[in-house]
Amino acid sequence: MTVHARTLPVLTDSDVLAGFRTLRSQQPVEYWAFYSSQMKGIVTDPALMVLPFDDHIVHRGHGIFDTAAIVEGKIYDLEAHLDRFLRSADRSKLRLPCTREEMRDIVVQTAAASGRRDGSIRYWLSSGPGSLELTPARGAEPGFFVMIFAGLSYPDRWYTEGLRVMTTTYPIKAPLYAITKATNYLPNVLMQMEAKEKGFDNGVFIDADGNVGESSNMNVAFVTKKGALVHPKFDHILAGCTSLRLLELARANQDRAQVAGVEVRDIPVAEARTCREMLLLGSSIKVAPVVQWDDQAIGNGKPGPVSKALLQLLEQDMRTSDRLIAIPY
């Protein structure tokens, strides 16, 4: 049998734009504004939110990112996210396209162009286009991109009934890669896919010493039998801005948080499994209770009081703290 290959068209620039518009209409997205240092401005049509294929962030994963939240017309805790972004850039040997102040200003202006009062801001730094090699191309300009989008959404059930997680069979990233927020999320993606395939909501990485690591795009914490909030050390997992802020809030408001102390230390899996509560923490999930880990219930198998109290503390902080930047719409 002869297979007749379809003759492929050679496209014009308007064919390309029409193609991207068709793609977006088949799969609508909630992307409201996008800044690109390569385009030197902001676009609001998702069909135009593109970058050159030979940018090394695309074909070599040489790039980093971070995500912050827009809450009631203000950006929450951007400085902490920018701190981590700059640390990740340094560890990834990525040059900055402009100063921190200019990056902050671009983020704020892109948020304003979106017109949205609630949502997420994700921004990336790339090593730039110019070759298909590994090291940055000669003369490559680093790329800075900012996307204002609807944010990740999770089922209400996660908060009302709690999540079920499994210990992943995938190895945890080596510490240097885990503490760097680079665009290579393959282990994180595989962990989440594996969990969903097996009927769980998410996975948990365990380190080589048998201590708890983190989840796919969120940190993990526990409430011990004695009521202390315990969190793994940040030397081999991502330093979650949410975790760091919550540890601070819980320390300062132990009664409200319903905890008897706060500890950041190694947490052996055997100890973790005996805890009263297990929590997932992150910018997108905020604070959610885990009620089952592998085949074992956590505590009494119901969401506990600390997860609820910490969620309230965080939500209050996201609206009233001094870590808010007003967006000049």
Pick the closest to residue 240 from 261, 262, 215 (CA basis): 215
- For residue 195 the two structure tokens come to 């969990």
Nearest to 223 by CA among 300, 136, 127: 300
Stretch that binds ligand PLP, among 52-60, 216-224, 268-276, 287-295 (CB under 6 A): 216-224
Query: Residue 89 belongs to what H/E stretch?
Result: helix 78-91
Q: Which of 181, 233, 286, 302 is catalytic?
A: 181
Distance CA 33, CA 59 (A): 24
Please identify which residue in 106, 179, 238, 267 interacts with ligand PLP, judged by CB under 6 A.
238
> Cβ–Cβ contacts within 10 Å for residue 159, how many?
18
84/64 Cα distance (integer angstroms): 10
Identify the residue among 217, 224, 258, 307 touching ligand PLP (CB under 6 A): 217
CB of 249 to ligand PLP, least distance (A): 13
Minimal distance, residue 220 CB to ligand PLP, in Å: 9
Q: According to CB under 6 A, which residues from 151 to 210 bind ligand PLP?
A: 188
Beta strand ranges found along the chain (DSSP E): 31-36, 41-43, 63-71, 74-76, 119-126, 143-149, 163-167, 202-204, 219-223, 229-231, 262-264, 277-282, 286-293, 296-297, 324-326
Size of the site for ligand PLP (CB under 6 A): 13
Work out how close the CB of 299 gets to ligand PLP at its nearest, in angstroms, rounded to a whole number. Answer: 23
Only segment of 30-38, 150-158, 227-235, 236-244 that touches ligand PLP (CB under 6 A): 236-244
**In this complex, which beta carbon is closest to ligand PLP, that of residue 110 or of residue 283?**
283
Could you say whether residue 114 binds ligand PLP (CB under 6 A)?
no
Q: Is 282 in the site for ligand PLP (CB under 6 A)?
A: yes
Any catalytic annotation for residue 198? Answer: no
Binding region for ligand PLP (CB under 6 A): 67, 188, 214, 217-219, 238, 240-243, 282-283
Active site residues: 181
